[in-house]
Amino acid sequence: MDPLAGIFAKLQRGFDHLQELDGKMRAFLLQKPYAAVHEPDDEAGWYVARFRVYREPPIEFGIIAGEAVGQFRSALDHLMMRLVRLRNPTSTERIIFPIYGSLAEFTRINRQGDSPCRTIRKAVRPEHYTILKRLQPYRRRHPSAIEVNSLSQLKRFSNVDKHDSIHPTYAKPTKIQPGHNPDIVAFEWEYGPPYVLDEDTRLYRVKFRPGAEVKVPLLFSAEIVFGPAPKYALTTRILGKYGLRAAAIIDEFRAVTPEFQPKE
């Protein structure tokens, strides 16, 4: 029997949500809910390609994404409660898994004269506190590292989902490449950061030979991301990495905790 079976079941449920979401998004995108349309630009002889939305991604997609991340965050919180009860089996304290982006946050004294780091240090075993402290995003010199970003963004995304809707939107074209047309005499890309595709977003400008048909053979596909965008423009692949990071953290605590080892 695995003492952490319930925690890993929550992680798996999160991955199941993402798999379900991927299937629903693929089916939705096959309906061609958007397009790139060409219109005359302000400069004579030029046309601009704009992103045109025929159907917005359903809000259901954001709900499923929030459910997935909620399971990942909940798995870490369940782990934290297990750690607290290893130190004190009768404890009724509700301490969530700590994720702090700054030392000031982690050590801030509250009205009761306590701080998060003191509370956690008293609540768990010394070896567990050492790991928890090391995992804090503020401790890393390279905040762009995936394990740091995963924890910080997991916290942000989960907090947003608790109090507001996670909004799906279009962004980050997976493919946008014009085909050959001998009547095209000039072509200029305009699309760039923050890579969110709102209605009428300018993609590129194109100029044709006088009298030529306005036609650009275009391979163009976008993907659905989750917001609020652009700061939280996250794909399901990135959300899946949050789950993988949570699983790696749980395994790290298992490795130093005899009570967490699977039993025959």
Average pLDDT over residues 45-60: 94
List own/partner pairs for 79-82 with CB under 8 A and 24 or more apart.
Answer: 79/4, 79/7, 79/249, 79/250, 79/253, 82/3, 82/4, 82/7, 82/260
Kindly report the pTM of this predicted structure.
0.89
Reported confidence tier of residue 59, pLDDT bands at 50, 70, 90: very high
Report the relative pairing of strands 34-40 and 46-53 from DSSP bridges: antiparallel
* CB-based contacts of 137, cutoff 8 Å, min separation 6: 99, 100, 101, 143, 148, 151, 152
Q: Is residue 147's pLDDT more than 60?
A: no
The conformation of residue 48, written as its DSSP 8-state character, comes to: E
Average pLDDT over residues 168-175: 79
Supply the pLDDT for residue 45. Answer: 86
Average pLDDT over residues 84-96: 92
Average pLDDT over residues 90-95: 88
Split into its structural domains, the chain has a count of: 1
Half-sphere exposure of 47 (CA within 13 A, CB side): 18
Reported confidence tier of residue 97, pLDDT bands at 50, 70, 90: very high
The conformation of residue 1, written as its DSSP 8-state character, comes to: -
Domain of 46 in residue numbering reads as: 5-260
The conformation of residue 138, written as its DSSP 8-state character, comes to: G
Reported confidence tier of residue 227, pLDDT bands at 50, 70, 90: confident
Q: Is residue 144's pLDDT more than 60?
A: no
Q: Which two tokens stand for residue 243?
A: 């789950």
Helix, strand, coil percentages for the chain (3-state, nearest 5): 45, 20, 35
